[in-house]
Amino acid sequence: MWKSTVDRATRLFDDLSEEDAAEPVAPGRNRVVYLLGHLTAVHDRMIPLLGLGERVHPEMDASFVSNPDRAIGDLPPLADLKSRWENVNGHLLVLMQQDVSPSWWAQRHTSVSEADFQINPTRNRLSILLNRTNHLSYHLGQIVLAPKRPSGSADRK
């Protein structure tokens, strides 16, 4: 389910124009370009959370996790964000396809203590994967419903 959801998002992001990416998903809400960066940063954070290594783009947190859309100045160009999306998700998929067993997924993730895990063993790596898949699906739903500018629109920015 993870890979198919990421693949669906990748196809959607690949088809984005600069103009469509600059549009908010609804009036006063996040821009599509911000959501691309946000999802990339969140997926990057999964690498250490799952105990698979170091992050690829920790510098993205300030713009896409710690602050809401429009709180920081200019965002990176769309092409750069698309490249980071591909890089992070490709790397994460390779790491998740390593020699991991079903019992590996049932182990605690790195943000929960051993004591807390003993109390609640559902705070495991699989729960992170399922949560992030749902998070991606939620934002994909927003992006799909975002208004699109008609081709050749005179009011393009």
Angle of CA points 10, 11, 16, to nearest 5° = 95
Domain residue ranges of the chain, discontinuous segments joined by +: 2-145
Residues whose CB is less than 8 angstroms from the CB of residue 104 and which lie 6 or more positions away in sequence, other chains included? 125
- The helix (run of H) or strand (run of E) holding residue 142 is helix 125-145
The pTM of the full predicted model, rounded to 2 decimals, is 0.92
What confidence score (pLDDT) does residue 124 get? 98
Residues whose CB is less than 8 angstroms from the CB of residue 44 and which lie 6 or more positions away in sequence, other chains included? 55, 56, 57, 58, 60, 88, 92
pLDDT in tens, the chain (157 residues): 999 999 999 999 999 999 999 999 999 999 999 999 999 999 999 999 999 999 999 999 999 999 999 998 889 999 999 999 999 999 999 999 997 889 999 999 999 999 999 999 999 999 999 999 999 999 999 999 887 766 544 444 3
CATH label, 2-145, candidates 1.20.120.450, 1.10.540.10, 3.30.420.40, 2.60.40.10 = 1.20.120.450
